Structure 1
Amino acid sequence: MPWGEYELTSIPGNLLWNTTGITILDSSQITSARGLYIDSNNTLYVTDAGVVWKLLNNTTNATIAVGISQLPGSNSTQLNSPQDVYVDKYGNMYVSDFLNHRIQKYINGSADGITVAGLSGTPGFELNLLNSPARFTFDSTDTYFYVNDYGNNRTMKYLTNSTTGNNGSLVAGGDVGNNSNTSLNGPGGIDYLPSISDTLFISNLLGHSIIRWIPGASSGFFVAGVPGVAGSNSTLLNQPRGIKLDKYLNMYVVDSGNHRVQLFCANNQTAITVAGTGIAGNSTTELNGPRGVEFDAEMNMYVTDSGNIRVQKFLRL
């Protein structure tokens, strides 16, 4: 669909959600709630302090998919503050291992990770290194992926079949973070839909904005928030983290500092709140420092409610 075809008052598909969340996972099973991913079987994956949890559809007890509970570390079976997770069509799992400065790949069912980007334990700004990689997004064929290199204020591109972690190329931003359209500022969330648009949508956590960037271009353009200005009205953001696009290029942004999820319809910089109240809390209608957002096959919405150590599900109406 062309960018700009829809207005805020007319959301394609009449997408609305119940504002009362259902707790899917809580502190009785997990110790934190960061990134999340839902596969084609509606299996939920959630990143925790040193592990990735797996929750099968229509079940209530999560199991550890990779990592070692209560034992963060840097060897091939360990993780340290993982931020994002993705499972490809072959069953391979990818995890952004934030404090180990690497992206780990787990061949279908394996507990031993292979480093496909970065160098374990070594932060840096050279093209073969990462510095606190945050979230990532993959192309439709699972041939390559883009990762937000948070500490370097840039987005990097890598092949998924790498075994050395040093085949990266710079596609957005650079070493110094600021709020111009030629830079990124603490890039957190990232998403794109290559079948519809070839541009990346990147959330600037420290810049309180969303920027749209063609990979490899020298600059992007802002599509939500005011660069460098934190706020809580319908046009401002405060530390945006996770971001997700739907097939109409509607944009769902986890507005972490405002404890809410904002929906920006295509070509509109005024949002509506679809989860949370804007005030931190632990009731069924509130969120506290949310981080990630995902949708299942029925477009039910899932949010990692980090401050409350839970994952909330909001049913599509």
Structure 2
Amino acid sequence: PSDTFVTSDGIYVLDTKNYRVQKWLKNGINATIVAGITGTPGGTSSNTTFSTSYGLFIDQFGSIYVSDQGNCRILRFPPNSVSGTIGDWIAGTGVSGYGWQGFASPTGIFVDSNQAVYVADTSNHRIQKYNFGACYGMTVAGTGYAGNSLNQLQNPTSVVVDSDGCLYISDQNNHRILRWAPEACAGECIAGCSMTPGTRPDQLNHPSDIAFDSQGSLYVSDTWNNRVQKFAILNGTGAYKILESST
């Protein structure tokens, strides 16, 4: 399994090498398959199955989004779908590419309240946004070229968008987390700002995923350090800094 998503009625698991999404009820019993077909990798000729996938999101309506990395596309499955349900191909061309429609190793995905889809386009070193129903994406973070300046990303793997439209990005190969304001030309670093991999509380090593709790604390999957880091954040009148971190 490579990703999970928690809702009020259960836990969704992206079971990558079984090419399926499972839903587990709160009691942990009787998982059901809600997307994909067990043991059946799919190509672009089918919207029922998907290839190697690493991103999962459930929107406010219960629709299931899968980042089909092996096929360089995003699929959306309807609420209450089951194994074999046909999904909608909503983004990507099916082959690796760079243009407004293309992805190269899409990984993390996020869907906002307007059903706009944000994609960590990992090997293109950028975050793409697809408004609902759009055929083309727009780059909202990164330049498309790997780098470590504040306007650049290097293999981003996860993106979260807050209610103000700010993006939080796991900039994996720069070992940092960036906050990117709406329409900004560059981000600001909020964790791992030395960009030096390490085991200190203020360091990260290839962070792969991020999430927030209801108190605004940031959780980071610090992959190569084999730990999860929690950062308490102060977000006040223009101030935005890490107060503390803990494992």
Contact preservation (8 Å) 2:61, 2:79: no
**TM-score, normalisation: structure 1:** 0.70
What displacement does 1:88 show? 1.4
Contact preservation (8 Å) 1:293, 1:302: yes
Q: Which amino acid in 2 is paired with 1:138?
A: I
Which residue does 1:165 correspond to in 2?
84
Which residue does 1:308 correspond to in 2?
225
Structure 1 position 139 matched with structure 2 position 59 = yes
What displacement does 1:287 show? 0.3
SS of the equivalent of 2:119 reads strand
Which residue does 1:225 correspond to in 2?
142
In 2: Cα distance, 1:307 partner to 1:295 partner: 21
Give the 5 Å matches for 1:50-65: none
Give the 5 Å matches for 1:183-222: 183-194=102-113, 197-222=114-139
In 2: Cα distance, 1:266 partner to 1:214 partner: 14
SS of the equivalent of 1:274 reads strand
Q: Which amino acid in 2 is paired with 1:237?
A: L
SS of the equivalent of 2:124 reads coil
In 2: Cα distance, 1:145 partner to 1:216 partner: 16
After superposing on structure 2, the runs of 4+ consecutive aligned residues of structure 1 that deviate more than 4 Å are none
Give the 5 Å matches for 1:115-134: 115-125=33-43, 126-134=46-54
What displacement does 1:117 show? 1.1
What displacement does 1:261 show? 0.4
> How many residues of Structure 1 are paired with residues of Structure 2 in the alignment?
231
Q: Which amino acid in 1 is paired with 2:232?
A: L
Aligned partner of 1:98 among 16, 25, 34: 16
**TM-score, normalisation: structure 2:** 0.89
Aligned partner of 2:6 among 72, 87, 90: 87
Structure number with the bigger relative contact order (C-alpha 8 A, sep ≥ 6) is: 1
In 1: Cα distance, 2:34 partner to 2:78 partner: 8
Which residue does 2:181 correspond to in 1?
265
In 1: Cα distance, 2:86 partner to 2:12 partner: 16
Q: Which amino acid in 1 is paired with 2:49?
A: L
1:231-272 Cα shifts (integer Å, max 9, x gaps): 111011011011101100000000001000011011113011
What displacement does 1:138 show? 1.8
Which residue does 2:157 correspond to in 1?
241
Contact preservation (8 Å) 2:177, 2:190: yes
In 1: Cα distance, 2:108 partner to 2:136 partner: 18
Contact preservation (8 Å) 1:154, 1:187: yes
SS of the equivalent of 1:241 reads strand
In 2: Cα distance, 1:206 partner to 1:122 partner: 25
In 2: Cα distance, 1:254 partner to 1:148 partner: 16
Q: Which amino acid in 1 is paired with 2:152?
A: L
What displacement does 1:215 show? 4.0
SS of the equivalent of 1:316 reads strand
What displacement does 1:107 show? 2.7
Q: Which amino acid in 2 is paired with 1:134?
A: Y
Q: Which amino acid in 2 is paired with 1:247?
A: S
Structure 2 stretches lacking a partner, 5+ long: 235-247
Structure with more of its chain in strand, by fraction: 2
1:273-294 Cα shifts (integer Å, max 9, x gaps): 1011211111111000101111
In 2: Cα distance, 1:242 partner to 1:298 partner: 20
In 1: Cα distance, 2:26 partner to 2:231 partner: 30
Aligned partner of 1:152 among 71, 75, 82: 71
In 2: Cα distance, 1:266 partner to 1:121 partner: 40
Structure 1 stretches lacking a partner, 5+ long: 1-81
Provide the aligned C-alpha RMSD in A: 1.3
Which residue does 2:167 correspond to in 1?
251
